[in-house]
Amino acid sequence: MISAKDAIEKIKLEINCLYEKRSSVEDALDHVLAHDVSSPIHMPPFPQSAMDGYALADSGTQFEVVTEIQAGDSSEGINLEKGQAARIFTGAMVPEGVYAVAKQEDIERTDDEITLMHEVKEMQNIRPLGEQIEKGQVALTKGTVVSAGAAGFLYTLGIDTIDVVRKPKVVIIATGNELVSPGQELTPGKIYESNTYTIKTALKKIGVDAAIKTVKDDYESTKATIKESIDESDLLITTGGISVGDYDYVGKAMQDLGVESIFYKVKQKPGKPIFFGKKGETAIFGLPGNPAAALSCFYLYVTPAIRKMSGFSNLFLEKRTLRITSSYKKTKNLSHFLKARYFENEVTILNAQSSAMLSSFAEANCLVHMIEEQEEWVEGDEVNAYLLP
């Protein structure tokens, strides 16, 4: 049995970033860039009017309007002479040699004659060629997470495909004769199977899809399903069946399949009986069967593994130091991860902390880490809280 800190370190050491893939920018949302992306053009690609107004040939005050330039028009070949101006619109191409663009509110116009009512400075209201980025400059660096804003920037540069780190293929297996899928009739002795659906929902929140499989408490079926799932996934998550009960076959099946055990059991509550191992390039987590313990372990251990596979540099849930609103006691040598709710700089530990109870997770927005070495906290003490997605 190892500490929570050591468990995290082993995961960081054993998990590798996955291979890159070519993707449309649209499908790359929330993926990590595998390489720097350089701009294929200047942006803007020509001197551009920042206003609806008039392009002025010089610094004078009286001008004759000789032409009009709309957005999308080419101004190549237009040469304004002294005392001339062009009606121009936002985003339109500014002719060479123009002194400035005066916004229309600063102009008084009579027929084709305009008078400048307020002085403008040279190049005022003109976006110069390459103002935002020059051709060949790095637009987005390797490791950037593709957001809507990043996608928009790429689109303005005419880029519609990029190389990103692919996200893992995930399979979730639930074991147990007592399990019934939600929506079916619940007969005596049965419980609804929530773990795989809960974990799949948590995965969806971080942009990862997963396949769900359910296995009865039978050794051969368990072994066959695990083998099949290892072959088709980058990450396998099992829930339940990892302990040493007469009908807990997951651990034995993994052993017989040659799965390397990196750790089994962590000095924590809830979720002590958590397993982490590998078979080839597939990472395998055996989560506890109790629903709240399974979800806690998912956030604390599986999420960092997925983020590393996906190329993220920041692997962990956001951590904040907050003050608890009540006292708390525990024994030494065991970390406690408590469902809690924070507001501003305070955090309240919730009721229903049992590893079987998900009700408090419905209210929680963080997990408070009561460290292994300490036994007692009083109201106002500082604790670390991990913010839930």
Tens of pLDDT, residues 308-334: 999 999 999 999 999 999 999 999 899
Burial class (CB in 10 A: 0-12, 13-18, 19+), 170: buried
Domain 4-18+167-309, what fold? Molybdenum Cofactor Biosythetic Enzyme; Chain A (3.40.980)
* Residues 6+ away with beta carbon under 8 Å from 124: 100, 101, 102
pLDDT of 183: 81
pLDDT in tens, 42-58: 999 999 999 999 999 99
| DSSP string of 135-163, one letter each residue | TTSEEE-TT-B--HHHHHHHHHTT--EEE
Residue type, 12: K
CATH class (in words) of the domain with range 20-42+132-165: alpha beta
pLDDT of 247: 46
* Residues 6+ away with beta carbon under 8 Å from 245: none
Statement: residue 226 has pLDDT above 80: yes
Same fold yes or no, 4-18+167-309 and 319-387? no
pLDDT in tens, 274-303: 999 999 999 999 999 899 999 999 999 999
Q: What is the DSSP letter of 259?
A: P
Q: How far is CA 7 from the centre of its chain?
A: 23
Domain ranges of the chain: 4-18+167-309, 20-42+132-165, 48-127, 319-387
Q: What is the CA radius of gyration of the chain?
A: 31
Report the percent of the chain where pLDDT is more than 90. Answer: 88
pLDDT of 191: 79
CATH class (in words) of the domain with range 319-387: mainly beta
Instruction: Tell me which CATH homologous superfamily contains domain 48-127.
Output: Molybdopterin biosynthesis moea protein, domain 3. (2.170.190.11)
pLDDT of 217: 79
